[in-house]
Structure 1
Amino acid sequence: MPDKYGVGEDAYCYAGSTVLRNKLDIRDEPTLSEAEQQLSAIAADNVEFNPPPYNLVYLQNIHRLLFSDLYEWAGELRTVGMAKQDTRFCQPQFMEKEAGKIFKSMATARWFEGMSRAELIIAVADAYSDINVVHPFREGNGRAQRILFEHLIMNAGFEISWWGIEKEEWIVANIAAYNCTLGPMEQVFEKCIGDEIPPHQLISIPTQNGKQ
């Protein structure tokens, strides 16, 4: 029985079901989805901003903080292949290597520090799209990834807000980026990235609740 990610029956789901095993023993997807949204939103308030360097372990820690109340495997790299329609994500055995390349590229770019807003939009759209293809977790990739990019963008000196972006817009942008068309993703970040942050305000910046 394939689920929305096309992985079929696997150890992450209850037997004969597409519902992920969870600490609350919720057995239907709508209720589990609602629990995910509520618990991760609450947990996001406890994710502290940290300056770079960033890496895959940093992203795993964000995921663990967001989902440890719900999933035993929160923060752990997935062990099954995954796909959404025609989008096939990185195979588990290659995820660490591919993520390492992306983080190394961002480090080489000095974590986008000193870029203009226009330059930053292009840079983060490209990096976000690359990490999305790695898709390191069985569930909750978008929420964890957006917090990582909040930190990147705030460290680069700009405000960031996801609230004007609809779910369908995210989906379209990610599919286009997978097919090497970054325009829609750049449009997303054009909406999300705000004004420059005065340097004295960068010391303690709260993390926003990522919108699914």
Structure 2
Amino acid sequence: MPDKYGVGEDAYCYPGSTVLRNKLNIRDEPTLGEAEQQLSAIAASNVEFTPPPYSLAYLQNIHRALFADLFEWAGQLRTVGMAKQDTRFCQPEYMEKEADKIFARMAAANWFEGMGRAELIVAVADAYSDINAIHPFREGNGRAQRILFEHLIMNAGFEISWWGIEKDEWISANIAAYNCVLEPMETVFKKCIGQPIQSRP
């Protein structure tokens, strides 16, 4: 039975179901989704900012912190191929190599430090889109990636808030970026990235 990611039957789900195996043994998707939101929101408040360098391992640690109470595989790279509608994410065997390239580019850009807001928006939109195309986890990619990029943006000296971004706008921006159209993602980050932190009174 294919799930929303089109992976079909796999070891992550209960047999004959699209519900991910979980530590609470929840067997229906709406209830599991609610538990995911609540538990990850609580856990997110305990993820402390750390300055760079950042890496795939750093993103894995964030994911583990968010979902360790719910999934045995929290923080582990997925082992199945995944697709969402016409979007096919990076195959598992290539994820680490491709992620390393993205983090190396960010390191070469000095983690975006010293950039003005306009330049930062473009750089962040591009990097976020590249990491999203890898989609390293079976579930919870967006939440883990947003915390990573909060850290990146704060380290670059700017405020960041996701409030005001509608779910449909977020999804559309990710689909467009997958198809190499970055303007919608730049628009999202234009709304999210605020003023320089040091300029607050």
- TM-score band by shorter chain is over 0.9
1:194 Cα offset (Å): 0.1
Amino acid at match of 2:76: E
Query: Is the counterpart of residue 6 in structure 1 residue 6 in structure 2?
Result: yes
1:75 maps to which residue?
Answer: 75
1:154 maps to which residue?
Answer: 154
2:33 maps to which residue?
Answer: 33
1:97 maps to which residue?
Answer: 97
1:200 Cα offset (Å): 10
In the alignment, the residues of structure 1 paired with residue 22 and residue 193 of structure 2 have an alpha-carbon distance, to the nearest angstrom, of 34
CA 1:120 to 1:35, structure 2 compared with 1: closer, same or farther past 3 Å?
A: same
Runs of 4+ in 1 over 3 A off after TM superposition: none
1:39 Cα offset (Å): 0.1
In the alignment, the residues of structure 2 paired with residue 34 and residue 175 of structure 1 have an alpha-carbon distance, to the nearest angstrom, of 24
Aligned length: 201
Q: Secondary structure at the match of 2:78?
A: coil
Structure 2 residues not aligned, in runs of 5+: none
Amino acid at match of 2:103: F
Give the TM-score normalised by structure 1.
0.94
Contact 1:157 1:199 in 2 (8 A): no
Amino acid at match of 2:42: I
Q: Identity percentage over the alignment?
A: 83
CA 1:190 to 1:36, structure 2 compared with 1: closer, same or farther past 3 Å?
A: same
Contact 1:6 1:83 in 2 (8 A): yes
What are the equivalent positions in structure 2 for 1:9-158 lying under 5 Å apart?
Answer: 9-158=9-158
Amino acid at match of 2:119: E
In the alignment, the residues of structure 1 paired with residue 200 and residue 47 of structure 2 have an alpha-carbon distance, to the nearest angstrom, of 21
**Which has the bigger relative contact order, CA under 8 A and spacing at least 6?**
1
1:208 maps to which residue?
Answer: none
Amino acid at match of 2:55: N
Q: Secondary structure at the match of 2:49?
A: coil
Structure 1 residues not aligned, in runs of 5+: 202-212
Q: Deviations over 1:30-54 (max 9, x none)?
A: 0000000000000001100000000
Q: Deviations over 1:146-196 (max 9, x none)?
A: 000000000000000001101111100000000000000000000000000
Q: RMSD of the TM alignment (CA)?
A: 1.2
Amino acid at match of 1:129: S
1:198 Cα offset (Å): 1.1
Amino acid at match of 2:85: Q
Amino acid at match of 2:175: I
1:206 maps to which residue?
Answer: none
Contact 1:5 1:84 in 2 (8 A): yes
Amino acid at match of 2:132: N
Q: Secondary structure at the match of 1:198?
A: helix
In the alignment, the residues of structure 2 paired with residue 177 and residue 140 of structure 1 have an alpha-carbon distance, to the nearest angstrom, of 19
Q: Secondary structure at the match of 2:3?
A: coil
Give the TM-score normalised by structure 2.
0.99
1:195 maps to which residue?
Answer: 195
Contact 1:5 1:82 in 2 (8 A): yes
